[in-house]
Amino acid sequence: MKKVLIVDDAAFMRLTLKKILEKNGFEIAGEAENGDIGVKKYKELKPDVVTMDITMPIKDGVQALKEIRTFDPDARIVMISAVGQKPFIYEAVMSGAKSFIVKPFEEKHLVKVLTQVLEM
């Protein structure tokens, strides 16, 4: 099973992601409520893929993405974004995000993105 790390400051979002992913045969390696913890957990858990929220306290998702990419250039990170965050997604994409998905998303879309990113 592929291990996923969920980074999101909203507990609701983490729960939603977790439910969908577990249902679709992913293993939740861990959860983090901000970018800072996300980076630490990435080092510790070495997940196959990360879902990364953008707007978070302490350290935002784009920043966390950049940091993770410094020590693991192959990291597979999917940004979870809201409508209207285009500039940040561009930045994330430039910094090596594998893909992104826009909230509110549909279950099948999320699963598809992660599956495809894992195949890359």
Partner 1 sequence: MSDNYSNDPMLDMFIFETVQLIEQLEQSIIEIERSNCYTEDSINEIFRVMHTIKSSSAMMHYENISLIAHTIEDLFYFLREEKPKKIDCLKLTDIVLESADFIKHETDKIVEGRKSDGDGSELIRRIKNYLSRLKADNSKENAEKGKSPSKNEDTDSISEDSSNQINLSDFLQQNYKAVIYFEEGCQMENVRAFLVINNLKEIAEDISYVPEDIIDNDGSIEIIKNNGFWISFKSDRSYKEIHEFISHNVVFLKEFELYETKSDGHQQLSTDNQNRKDLQDKEKIEEPQFVSTRQSIISVNVHKLDKLMDLVGELVISEAMVLQNPDLNGLVLDNFLKSARQLHKITGELQDAVMSIRMVSLSATFQRMNRIVRDMSKKLGKDIRLELIGEETEVDKNIIDHISDPLMHLIRNSVDHGIENSEVRKAKNKPEFGTITLEAKNSGGDVLIIIKDDGRGLNKESILSKARRNGLIKKPEQELTDKEVYSFIMLAGFSTKEEVSEYSGRGVGMDVVTKNIGAIGGTVSIDSVEGEGTAITLKMPLTLAIIDSMTIKTGKSFFSVPIISIRESFKAEDGDIIIDSEGNEMIMIRGQCYTAVRLYELYGIKTEIKNISDGVMLMVENDGKAICIFADEIIGEQEVVIKALPGYIRNLKKIRGLSGCTLLGDGNISLILDVGDLITSLEEGRMKI
Q: Rule CB under 8 A: which residues touch partner 1?
A: 9-13, 15-16, 19-20, 23, 34, 55-60, 62-63, 81-84, 86-91, 93-94, 97-107, 109, 112-113, 116-117, 119-120
The answer to whether 9 and 56 are in contact (CB under 8 A) is: yes
Contacts of 6 (CB under 8 A, 6+ apart): 14, 17, 18, 21, 28, 30, 31, 32, 50, 51
Closest CB 40 distance from partner 1, rounded Å: 14
Closest CB 15 distance from partner 1, rounded Å: 5
Q: Which residues pair with 80 in a beta bridge?
A: 53, 101
Closest to partner 1 by CB, 29 vs 89, is 89
Closest to partner 1 by CB, 6 vs 97, is 97
Closest CB 51 distance from partner 1, rounded Å: 13
Closest to partner 1 by CB, 3 vs 55, is 55
Closest to partner 1 by CB, 72 vs 91, is 91
Burial degree of 47 (CB within 10 A; 0-12, 13-18, 19+): buried
> Helical H runs in 30-106?
35-45, 61-71, 86-94
